[in-house]
A and B are shown apart, each in its own frame.
Chain A
Amino acid sequence: MAPLLECRTLTKKYGNTLALNNVSFTLEKGRIVGLLGPNASGKTTLIKLINGLLTPTSGEVLINGMRPGIESKLSVAYLPDTMFLNDWMNVKQLINYYSDFYSNFDVDKAYDMLKRLNLDEKMRVKAMSKGTKEKVQLILTMSRDADLYCLDEPIGGVDPASRDYILSTILNNYNENGSILISTHLISDVEQILDDVLMIRFGCLYIHKTVDEIREEKHMSVDELFREVFRC
């Protein structure tokens, strides 16, 4: 059976700039994987390649054994690190939009999460604060029963209380038969929920290990290892 995600000698260049260099790894189902690295290390590039938003310079990405396409778009739920929704739409229209296109979108789950956030379904995106927009995007992403959740910096730029809300929303709502690939450089906040770590350094895959392996072999936490590897 094909792994959930497989990257084979994946390389991406922007002009002369090498963003990802010969990255190869596989990811199995039922894992929470931290995609760790400092800014500009290639995390967003890797996530965009998985979602078919970028074309690899060489190598390939396979999701359930298939290249990014209609099938993979249905099985991968993507949360970008930027605002991507139509700002004229209100929450109800967004939920209708998602349920129209994604057969694995759970409308009740989305409304349930919104209720806990005390968000009015008639509120337009443009009227929301930055934090609320991010939470709505997260709710839409996590309401899908996907095989793989690609979350790009979901806790970057939010206050600690919101971080807790975001992390609990992720943990309480993802499809447990699937996997989560969560990109961040705020290691200490996510370390306790991670099963595996993918550490990227200058576009190259530096480490791909389980959190337990790192603790046993290096005798340090993931946060400590990160600080050591990326010390300026």
Chain B
Amino acid sequence: MLGKLFKHEFRTTGRYIVALLALLIVVTPLTALYLRFSTSDVIDRFTVNNFNIFQIFSVISALVYVAALVSVVTATTILLIYNIYKSMVTSQGYLTHTLPVPTSYIIISKGVVMFVWKILSVIVAFISLMIFTYILGVWNFDNIAAFIKELRKLNFFAYMPSMILMAASLIFGTIQKILMYFASFAVGHRMNGHPFLGSVIAYIAGSFILSIILAIANTIANFAFLYADSYGLADTIDIMMIPAIIISIASSVVFYIISVYMFKNKLNI
């Protein structure tokens, strides 16, 4: 049943996410090539009284690219949150919650699909940025080796464990956020007649509590510096990241339990 839930969830959400990613992939080379063209000497010939129409379009194309880049990451998140809300606590929930599957399966399938799309949108946005800057000539394949050499010189690879911790923090942070959306809807939908408002209030309250816990954990972690003889950048990153990861994991577990419990035992749609 979990496999079937994944299949239908990917199909439901994939329609608009794939369209957004495809839009970015199409916009990237078009805007970058136009920008490259508009900054070349060729278009100087079209300057009349210090006014060049191609340069105006170059500003517009740069804006279009930035908008596409930002919208892929933000719109993906907003659309996915809306999909969860709609399928869990509006009339579409009548079908979702009458499927003969465990509540945990519903949350896991929707959560995993959201996670996959979010990560994919970030990867596509990064690749797009690399292609865009490559076309503009900011970097080329020849200077990658030189770049790696430079990183070695700076002893960058000594920071690898800290970099892995940062990546882990981002991944667990994303999982925590996704489960927090579910928990907010699970708690907030019980506000009679105002499920959306209730969900927003629950989300704000959850964020507030989490930020307090994180602040306390960071303060405690920073005491480590007081007793250290010396510390470098890697130590600072580790001391910031480790509490964040632990809190992300712990809060994810709490949000998951709240979501399953509320949707299973306190459903009110």
Contact status A83-B91, CB under 8 Å: yes
B177 at the interface (CB under 8 A from A): no
Q: How far is the CA of A65 from the CA of B269 in the complex (A)?
A: 24
Contact status B100-A73, CB under 8 Å: yes
Contact status A53-B269, CB under 8 Å: yes
CB distance from A133 to the nearest CB of B (A): 12
Q: Given the complex, which residues of A lie within 8 Å of B7, measured CB to CB?
A: 100
Contact status B94-A102, CB under 8 Å: no
Q: How far is the CA of A53 from the CA of B195 in the complex (A)?
A: 14
A55 touching B266 in the complex, CB below 8 Å, given contacts A14-B192, A84-B91: yes
CB-nearest residue of chain A relative to B105?
A70
CB-nearest residue of chain B relative to A12?
B268
CB-nearest residue of chain A relative to B4?
A100
B45 at the interface (CB under 8 A from A): no
Q: Given the complex, which residues of B lie within 8 Å of A14, measured CB to CB?
A: 192
Interface of B is mostly: loop
CB-nearest residue of chain B relative to A93?
B11
B74 at the interface (CB under 8 A from A): no
Contact with B along A86-105 (1 / 0, CB 8 A): 10100000000100111000
Q: How far is the CA of A116 from the CA of B262 in the complex (A)?
A: 42
Tell me the chain A residues, 67-91 only, with Cβ under 8 Å from chain B: 70-71, 73-74, 76, 78, 80, 82-86, 88
Q: Given the complex, which residues of B lie within 8 Å of A101, measured CB to CB?
A: 1, 4, 99-101
Q: Given the complex, which residues of B lie within 8 Å of A71, measured CB to CB?
A: 100
Other-chain residue from A15, A52, A73 in contact with B192 (beta carbon distance below 8 A): A15
A40 at the interface (CB under 8 A from B): no
CB distance from A165 to the nearest CB of B (A): 23
Contact status B268-A55, CB under 8 Å: yes
Other-chain residue from A15, A53, A74, A102 in contact with B97 (beta carbon distance below 8 A): A53
Contact status B94-A70, CB under 8 Å: no
Q: Which of A51, A55, A74 has the most CB of B within 10 A?
A: A55
Contact status B100-A53, CB under 8 Å: no
Contact status A82-B91, CB under 8 Å: yes
Q: How far is the CA of A53 from the CA of B269 in the complex (A)?
A: 6
Q: How far is the CA of A51 from the CA of B267 in the complex (A)?
A: 11
B98 at the interface (CB under 8 A from A): yes
A contact residues vs B (CB 8 Å cutoff) = 14-15, 48, 51-55, 70-71, 73-74, 76, 78, 80, 82-86, 88, 97, 100-102
